[in-house]
Amino acid sequence: MKARRLGRILAADGRSLVLAMDHGAIAGPLPGIESPERALEQASRAGVDAVLMTRGALEAGWASLDARVGVILRLTGGFTLLTDPQNFEERLLGSAEDALFLAADAAAVTVKFGHAREGDFMAQAGRTAAACARWNLPLMIEVMPRGERAKAMGDAEALALACRAAAELGADLVKAPFPGSTQAMERVSKGCPVPILILGGEKDPDPGGVFGLVDQALAGGAAGVCMGRNLFGHANPVGMIALLRELIHGGGDAAELAEAARRMSAATA
């Protein structure tokens, strides 16, 4: 049953394009996700494999979501941009049972490795992994290396440690930042026995920039992306997602797709 649910997130080619739209719980109604219903309708039309959401947004917009699209329910959070970013912590706000009740295909938690409360975050993730295992529910752990030791270690080594630690905690998928190059991505992916999805981070002012990043990540062994602002924040999110899908699943040329994204952006400006 877990493999069946995971198959609603990872396509037959082993790759995935997940639209992350869980930002509202932290940053409020960002452009592109003001209406969960509209955002999910666009995601469905564009052909995403899955969406990462919070409970409230899912309940508000589920009627617009195509039944073929997988759902990953975020279970941690508990802070907003009204808090000092240096004090951001992850609190467990939901359970594996909540995810099942809402018909989600997977759950998601974040662990900030290197944070002063690293052990608490790992304990939360471990308890959630155990609960997910009992219900055959896949778990995605988002990793965020933090602190002076991570800086001293370097991006690739710190991320390789964090991704492996997440897999050891029981993750079926890992969401992680791109470590900067194909070679660094290879270092990270070779040490992680579960698929890694690259996050998008801050919105790139160059709409074509994301394609080079994703192309390098895929070449280095990433299984795809779990990306938000660079997709739903575009003036034409359906078109942007469709172009990225062509790169991830269709083997499209990254440079050509990047130029297409720039032309599309100029046309909608």
DSSP string, 98-149: HHHHTT-SEEEEEE-TTSTTHHHHHHHHHHHHHHHHHTT--EEEEE---HHH
Low-confidence residues of the chain, pLDDT below 70?
A: 269
Helix axis angle, 209-219 to 254-268, nearest 10°: 160
CB 209 within 8 A of CB 203: no
Q: What is the pairing mode between strands 106-111 and 70-74?
A: parallel
Enter the tokens of residue 55: 């409970």
pTM equals 0.96
Taking the domain 2-268, which CATH number applies? 3.20.20.70
3 state SS of 40: helix
pLDDT of res. 269: 65
CB 254 within 8 A of CB 200: no
Residue 95: Cβ-neighbour burial (10 angstroms; 0-12, 13-18, 19+): middle
**241-20-114 Cα angle (round to 5):** 135
Q: Residue 217: which of 239, 233, 238, 201 has the closest Cα?
A: 201
pLDDT of res. 152: 86
Give CA–CA dist 229/32, Å, rounded.
Answer: 8
pLDDT digits (tens, 9 = 90+) for 62-85: 999 999 999 999 999 999 999 887
